[in-house]
Each structure stands twice: as C-alpha cells, then as structure tokens.
Amino acid sequence: MADNVGKARRSEEGQCDAEKGGAGSGASVEQGQVLFPPSFSVSEIKNKQRRHFMFLRWKQQQRKEKLAIKKKRKKEREALGDQAPPKPVPKTIENQRVYDETAVDPNDEEVALDEATDEFAPYFNRQTVPKILITTSDRPRGRTVRFCEQLSKCIPNSHVYYRRGLALKRIIPQCISRDFTDLIVVNEDRKIPNGLVLSHLPDGPTAHFRMSSVRLRKEIKRKGKTPTEHQPEVILNNFTTRLGHSIGRMFASLFPHDPQFVGRQVATFHNQRDYIFFRFHRYIFKNERKVAIQELGPRFTLKLRSLQKGTFDSKFGEYEWIHKRHEMDTSRRKFHL
C-alpha cells in the first residue's frame, strides 16, 4: 500500500516536472499511468552550435520525407497511366478572385454601344491618328529625362517637350489646337519617376497612375539593340471589368493602327492583380515551333489611382473611379481592373 501511494506521489511530481519543462508532451498524463519520457524539441538545446546542427539535420529529414511522398505519388500516377486523376489546380489569389459583376460580357449590347460612342470611338473608327505629347513634372533630372526619351522611342508619333514650368490646364488647350490626341505627364520625386498622368484629348478621360520599378534600357540585362521606327503591335492582357476596358482602350489609343509586322516589335500592357506591367519586346520565329523574344526596354509598373471624366482638373473635375484604400482594399482577392 505504502509503495503504491509513494508511486502515485512520484508520478504527480513527474507530471509537474513535465509541465515546468514545457516539453509539450501533448498527451495528458493521468494518475497511475506510465509516464512517457519528455519529448524532444530542437529549440530547447542550449548550445547554439549543437542546436544549429540538429536543426539542419531535422530540416534534411523533412525534405527527404517530402521527396519520398512526391516520388510515391508520381509512381502511382504512372502506374495508373491514362486513368490517373487530373492534377489539382493550385489555389492562387487570381483564380480565387471575388466575383465582379462589372466584368464585360462581349455579347452585351448595352456595353458595346456605350463603348462604341465613348471618347475613344474616333480612334477606333480610324478617324484620328494618335499624336502624343510626353512631358514631365517641372525640372526633371537625369533618369526621368532618359525615361521620357526611351518612352517616346516605343510610342510612334510622340514628342517629348520640356515642361518649362507651365500649368497643365494651360498646356491642354494648346495641345488640342495642335491636334495632339494624348498627353502623358511623368511625375518625378527625388530623381525617381513615380507617377504618370495619361490624358486623352480633346475631352478626356484622364487617368492617374502610380509608377514603380522603372528600369531604363541600360539597366536591363540581355537587352536587344535600340528599337526601330516601325509601328509596334500592342498586347493588352486581362483588362476584364468595365473599368479595365476603359483603361485598356486608353492604352490602345496611344499606338497607331496597322502595326508594321516587319519590325517584329511588341508593346505589352499586362494586368495582374490590378498592377499593369509594361514591357517592350522584339520577337523572332526561330522555326515553326519556337519563338524567341528579346527585351528592348524600358519597363515599368503602373497602378491605377483614379480615372477622371474630362481633361485634367483635379480640383473641380468629376471622378469616374477613385481608388479608396481603406474602403476598397478590404479583400486581397478583390480586383478592379
């Protein structure tokens, strides 16, 4: 009897010890049961070198296990042959996107007519030829100046002008009288181009973008030779919603119709998660199957901040869409373009 009691007491003590050690043995030890030895955890090792060594070993082991599972699965698939179940599609933020009711249905009559009569209609009906003015914020520094030059090499029939401290609202009437169809203003902050205002003339709309990751031609690895004067092809990717359509049409109207395929140059506006990536490439068909591309630069990323009806008027203009961070960015899976 006495022995029994003693054991029980000891076991209680043991339990206390286990708890104090914080070993996290998991299984709750009840009285009178056999005790498991306290579990081992790498993070408890006091010696740093030893801990590091043990951690590396643990990591290796994990990797081995993972690879073994992968191999096994592959073998199973091979054994099944054609009857193997299709591979599961990985979950990404894009394919888990929140449903957007403004997504444009190509068969929608109303939207089609709305687009057929909007401000870009004269361009798409081939009544106007794009003529673009590129300027900057006041007193641009080296990088922005070079960026504008390179941008004007990508966009045919574009002219870079020095801003000369003029107000945009005074520039716009002059542009209209000289038949410019678009105005691009690159904003600069501490020698880094960080904003882009794209205004369609003569009567809007005006889009304001945040610009980031600007890489000039010189900074791109494995770049091609300088672009030629040919009119490039334009690719617009993933502009699906009604707002996206407007923005896409805006970009499309920067470039002239009828690309010269001899030049083999492509300008791409790729929208992914509301970020618009601009790339400028030259391609070549190596044989019937293979195509090679070569980047010509510059490259940059845009994010839409607002779309305003009419030409630039940030004070009294009416906004068609504004990005309100605290109201709109509630879900990571909600996209507007």
Partner 1 sequence: MASPARGCHVWVGSETGILKGINLQKKQATNYKLGDTVLNRHEAVTAMCWGDPYESEIFVGCFDGSVKLFSTEKGKFTESRDCREGEGPFCGLAVLDSSLITCVQSGLLKVWRDTSSENVEIQVGAGVCRMRQNPEQLHRVATGGKENCLKVWDLHQPQEPIFRAKNLRHDWLDLRVPVWDRDMQFLPGSEKIVTCTGHHQVRLYDPSSPQRRPVLEATFGEYPLTALSLTSDGNAVVVGSSHGDVAVIDLRQGRLVKCLKGLAGSVRAIQCHPVLPLVASCGLDRFLRVHNLHHKRLEHKVYLKSRLNCLLLTSREKWEDEGFDSSADLQSDVKEEEEDDEIWNSMEVVATKRKAELQPCTESDLQKDKRLKKQKKLKKAKS
Interface residues toward partner 1, by CB under 8 A: 101-102, 108, 110-111, 113-114, 117, 242, 309, 315-322, 324, 327-328
The distance of closest approach from Cβ of residue 203 to partner 1 in the complex, given in angstroms and rounded to an integer, is 12
Q: Which is nearer to partner 1, 202 or 224 (CB)?
A: 202
Q: Tokens representing 275?
A: 């970020």
User: Other CB atoms closer than 10 Å to residue 5's CB: what's the count?
Assistant: 9
Q: Which is nearer to partner 1, 190 or 315 (CB)?
A: 315
The distance of closest approach from Cβ of residue 275 to partner 1 in the complex, given in angstroms and rounded to an integer, is 19
Residue 146, C-beta contacts closer than 8 angstroms, at least 6 positions apart: 216
How far, in Å, CA of 92 to CA of 101, rounded?
Answer: 20
The distance of closest approach from Cβ of residue 304 to partner 1 in the complex, given in angstroms and rounded to an integer, is 12
- Exposed / middle / buried, residue 43 (Cβ in 10 Å: 0-12, 13-18, 19+): exposed
Q: Which is nearer to partner 1, 124 or 319 (CB)?
A: 319
Q: Which is nearer to partner 1, 14 or 122 (CB)?
A: 122
Q: Which is nearer to partner 1, 3 or 105 (CB)?
A: 105
| b/e code 236-273 from CB counts within 10 Å (16+ = b) | bebbbbbbbbbbbbbbbbbbbeebeeebbbbbbbebee
The distance of closest approach from Cβ of residue 11 to partner 1 in the complex, given in angstroms and rounded to an integer, is 41
The distance of closest approach from Cβ of residue 182 to partner 1 in the complex, given in angstroms and rounded to an integer, is 21
Q: Which is nearer to partner 1, 222 or 315 (CB)?
A: 315
Pick from 214, 201, 136: nearest CA to 174: 201
The distance of closest approach from Cβ of residue 337 to partner 1 in the complex, given in angstroms and rounded to an integer, is 13
How far, in Å, CA of 36 to CA of 25, rounded?
Answer: 8
